[in-house]
Chains A and B, each alone.
Chain A
């Protein structure tokens, strides 16, 4: 089955076509298995073994890779949210879409849809740096939260407009509390 894959590497996103067929079944639990994979039209053989839940040793053309797959904190296993895949020393976010069910413009975690920025941990809002309706760029400081004896800036994950500011200077917040909405 062909899959449409979106890979996010840092701030760069790329789209790919991916297909994998097995020589032996995954659930069989037999000795080394090989996948024939087609990535953007190029076909290769990958020898792959699951080392531990979500951890794979993958050999392609003799090169040895180790990949760990998990979901982002808060995402459930069954949803269509992206997978965090660590390959070597780098992290990638991988979205797998079955093209038969993929609908254009469906809002996802990484799309241009509205983003609710929540407090990553309990702390105190020391300073709000933006105002409602302000346009912000990716990485722009939105507010300063004090946690673990240090002051830290929460930054815009992408460019957009500040639609709502829920946070108020001087108040304490719990982890997960909404702070700012960006559209």
Chain B
């Protein structure tokens, strides 16, 4: 087993990986950019090395500097986390050349699955379902008929040059195709000066459901069930669940088997995720493979009682996967919310800055993966993910109640977070009913999810009292100051106010 692992990442995932390393008795090596010197992952690690200034290209994406840190620290293996270099085959190969074990899939599998077109092509060859569509223009009505039949109705005709809802036609059957084809083309011509249209399968309110796969270097590859990740905004996942409220055992099995087939096709080992879009008719279509550990892995861990990072490390060290497919049983339900430094009342505008106070949830069934602490300044150079809050419950309804409770305990002061958004989403009827699709978040936001609540008169008088106490407290401090100028008291107060050097500290007889 490795004696030391370098984590080529930052923030919550770096801390999370280090936690498992600690449990396994493996030394942890952090790398950090100049602006991350005081970050949690640096404080947590056994060793830490600066790899450059703030910009990612100069630090967390700088392969040479990271490998240099690995060399200086005598590291044996590298965990890439997610994002940054996690799916970069050049990095995986560079690690191997430097004599380091890359904790992840083989570079070849990463390459095959890394390009959406090559992945799609490989899967189509293997007869596996992909999101049907053409990338090229349709040259004639006859061709359009053929492609539409091959794709399967309903289909969407889309203007190649287009956008803004123009040149879009939903076609439910072959009978509707001819007129739709002509009107779509003329609309496109009028709006964009180009009549060319292409075609995609119309997925009605699709759900994003992904399958976790895990394989060792000895040929065993299993799936660990699904995660539902339909709740997205601007293609960024915000809330994930395991299991999917939409999946039954039959769908899980079909999708799981397909995911394993895809993994084997790619020669995959270690942890990965196969993403699918699922339509209301329970047909699923391959979207892409994420050849890395994903942000939302905790919900799978909670429901299966597994430590995926530990499995990743064991697999990378050449050990055999102990999990067999029949061992995989989903128990209870888990939900995860991604807490971002964003202002949900202002179009989710990023809100980096100084965290003045932090109150965090705890108690039964609550898991918090965080990269921040009270007194930390969230930098603006990186993804504003602060933490992930996950809960486990015996069933989905219990998990929802638990998440509501946990969100009520979670308070971040000094910066804005999307926690108020989650509080409201968690009580929205569509969410509680499990009617999830990739358009839900945009719809509920447009319908006024973040609308102001009426003020509470009870709270207002508490606010008035608190403000008055605060003012009086400040005045009392000013009054007592000249009367009792004790150097120790001033030093204590100055330290509390973060002033350095403490005023009066040098004033000695």
Binding site for B on A (CB under 8 A): 3, 5, 7, 9-12, 14, 16, 18, 20, 26-27, 35, 37, 39, 44, 46, 48, 50, 52-56, 58, 60, 63, 65, 67-70, 73, 77, 83, 85-90, 92, 94, 96, 120-122, 147-148, 150, 152-153, 155
Q: Report B-chain residues with C-beta under 8 Å of the C-beta of A85.
A: 463, 466-467
Q: B466 to chain A: which residues have CB within 8 Å?
A: 56, 58, 67-69, 85, 87
User: Which residue of A has the minimal Cβ distance to B357?
Assistant: A68
In the complex, 21 of the A-B residue pairs with CB atoms within 8 angstroms, ordered by the A residue number, are A7-B455, A9-B452, A9-B455, A10-B452, A12-B452, A12-B454, A18-B465, A35-B469, A50-B469, A58-B465, A58-B466, A60-B461, A68-B466, A69-B470, A77-B474, A83-B471, A90-B459, A92-B463, A121-B352, A147-B350, A152-B346
- Which of chain A's residues have a CB closer than 8 A to the CB of B464? 5, 7, 16, 18, 37, 39, 94
Q: Is B495 an interface residue (CB 8 A)?
A: no
Are the CB atoms of A67 and B462 closer together than 8 Å? yes
Bound CA–CA A94/B480 (angstroms):
26
The 9 closest A-B pairs by CB, nearest first: A9-B455, A67-B466, A10-B452, A85-B463, A69-B470, A94-B467, A39-B461, A92-B463, A87-B459
Report B495 CB to chain A, min CB distance, Å. 12
Q: Which residue of B lies closest to A8 (CB)?
A: B455
Interface bin, chain B: 35 or more
**Given A147-B380, A148-B380; 4 other pairs, CB 8 A cutoff:** A9-B452, A35-B469, A67-B462, A94-B464
Task: Provide the bound-state CA to CA distance between A75 and B346, in Å.
Answer: 21
Cα of A150 to Cα of B346 in the assembled complex, Å: 13
In the bound complex, do residue A121 and residue B350 qualify as a contact, i.e. CB atoms below 8 Å apart?
yes
Q: Count A-B contacts at CB 8 Å.
A: 136
In the complex, B353 has a CB within 8 A of chain A: yes
A120 to B349, CA, bound (A): 10
The residues of A that contact B469 with a CB separation of less than 8 Å are 20, 26, 35, 48, 50, 56, 69
User: Are A48 and B349 neighbours in the complex by a CB distance under 8 Å?
Assistant: no
Are A54 and B470 interface neighbours, CB within 8 A? Answer: yes
Are the C-beta atoms of A50 and B455 separated by less than 8 Å?
no
Contact of A20 among B350, B468, B474 (CB under 8 A): B468
CB-CB under 8 A from B423, the residues of chain A are 89
Smallest distance from the beta carbon of A97 to chain B beta carbons, Å?
A: 11
- The main secondary structure of chain B at its interface with chain A is helix
Docked pose: A7 CA to B480 CA in angstroms: 30
Report which of A26, A35, A120 forms a contact with B476, defined as CB distance below 8 A: A26
The verdict on A20 contacting B465 (CB below 8 Å), with A89-B420, A148-B380, A152-B347 known, is yes
Which chain B positions have C-beta within 8 A of A88? 459
Q: Is the CB of A87 within 8 A of B463?
A: yes
Q: Is B456 an interface residue (CB 8 A)?
A: yes
CA distance in complex: A92, B453 (Å): 12
Give chain A residues whose Cβ lies under 8 Å from the Cβ of B480: 27
Residues of B within 8 A of A68 (CB): 357, 411, 413, 466
Q: Are B476 and A96 in contact (CB under 8 A)?
A: no
Contact B380 A67 (CB under 8 A): no
Across the interface, do A63 and B458 meet the contact criterion of CB distance under 8 Å?
yes
Complex Cα–Cα for A159 and B454 (A): 21
In the bound complex, what is the Cα–Cα distance between A16 and B164 (angstroms)?
A: 49
Residues in A whose Cβ lies below 8 Å from that of B381: 148
B351: nearest chain-A partner, CB-CB: A120
CA distance A21 to B465 in the complex (A): 11
Q: Which residues of B contact A10 (CB under 8 A)?
A: 452-453, 455
Contact B471 A60 (CB under 8 A): no
Chain B residue, CB-CB nearest to A54: B470
